[in-house]
Amino acid sequence: MKVVIAGSSGLIGTALVAALRRDGHEVARLVRRRAAGPDEFSWDPVRADLDERALRGADAVVNLCGAGIARRRWNGGFKQELRDSRITPTDVLAAAVVKAGVPTLVNASGVQFYGGETGDRVVDETSPAGSGFLAGLCRDWEAATRPAADAGVRTVLLRSAVVLSGQGGLLSMLHPLYSLGLGGRLGSGRQYTPWISLDDEIGAIVFALGTDTLAGPLNVVGPAPVTNAEFSRALGRALHRPTPLVVPAFALRALFGEFAQEGILRGPRAIPTALEEAGYEFQHPTIGAALAATVGRPGDDR
């Protein structure tokens, strides 16, 4: 299988490239600089400029493009950057796969699609979009793939949770604090913190690439949802550190602004119904197992 990947230099993209090549697949990488090797092809999504050779003979395109939502405090300009970094590349790639006759498009999205106002109610792929900036962003991001789906391209929408990895992401920020005994719940702790191990994030993408019956939204989340308080206790156990602190909601709002309300103090209780019904088996089915595989020690898989 030949897979073309946009956004291959990030945490997920780097791991996906390695996994596909390890399994014997051909990988072509779209890069926004001068191509430096035979597996790289330059593109400029802002100008809708894509080297047509990149998609020649491709079996699938995976689009992982998108600026990090917590990279800095939100303002109007940064929120527009978050939209442009996702929707513009998706527009270009959706048109390109149709023109090149690529049969499959796997496109990133986020579990924030459901919003955070769902509380304890379980949400799966049949649940409607929520409210707020992030939910609207995910909805419009997914809508940008519609020209491909309407043209008969099998289109998979990866509604991914927070990816747990020792190489970056959320855990790289929390690990030092928890190691010093400064961990604890955020706000009330009753909000859900959707999670997925990096191994299962990559496993789910590879599974989606190889499963022709999968199309549409796909919740890429761990199968055992936890609240923020449960997540905090599990991380403390994995690091053998206490979690005595509580960061009040007002402090989070003062520090992170609007993102605190949407990305920290709220979260959906999402489950991976479509993945499990298709037969995917999770390597790390519990938060304890996922954290033990990344920052813990053998046996810390409660």
272-300 confidence digits (pLDDT tens): 999 999 999 999 999 999 999 998 654 45
* Per-residue model confidence as pLDDT tens digits over 238-264: 999 988 889 999 998 998 899 999 999
Q: Which of 3-7, 63-67, 260-264 has the lowest mean pLDDT?
A: 260-264
Q: Which of 45-59, 211-225, 267-281, 285-299 has the lowest mean pLDDT?
A: 285-299
Radius of gyration, CA atoms only, the chain: 19
pLDDT at 299: 47
* Per-residue model confidence as pLDDT tens digits over 68-101: 998 889 999 999 999 999 999 999 999 999 999 9
Query: How far is CA 286 from each of CA 147, 200, 224, rounded to the nearest angstrom?
Result: 37, 11, 6
What DSSP line would sit under 197-221, residue for residue? EHHHHHHHHHHHHH-TT--EEEEES
- pLDDT top residue among 75 and 119: 75
| Average pLDDT across the chain, whole number | 93
Using DSSP's 3-state secondary structure scheme, residue 58 falls into coil
pLDDT at 110: 97
pLDDT more than 90, % of the chain: 82
Q: Which of 154-163, 165-174, 213-222, 286-295 has the lowest mean pLDDT?
A: 165-174
pLDDT at 298: 46
Mean pLDDT for the stretch of residues 181-193: 91
Q: Which of 150-154, 229-233, 260-264 has the lowest mean pLDDT?
A: 260-264
C-alpha 88: how far from chain center: 18
- pLDDT top residue among 170 and 203: 203
- pLDDT top residue among 51 and 151: 151
Give, to the nearest 10 degrees, the angle between helix 11-22 and helix 198-210: 60
Query: How far is CA 219 from each of CA 94, 124, 158, 277, 280, rounded to the nearest angstrom?
Result: 21, 7, 6, 12, 12
Show the domains of the chain with their CATH numbers. Answer: 2-231+236-294 (3.40.50.720)
Residue 142: closest CA among 108, 114, 115: 108
pLDDT at 301: 53
Query: What does DSSP assign to residue 43?
Result: E
- Characterize 280-301 residue by residue with b for buried, 16 or more Cβ atoms within 10 angstroms of its Cβ, and e for exposed: bebebebbbbbbbbbbbeeebb
Using DSSP's 3-state secondary structure scheme, residue 301 falls into coil
The CA-to-CA distance between both ends of the chain, in Å, stands at 38
pTM: 0.94
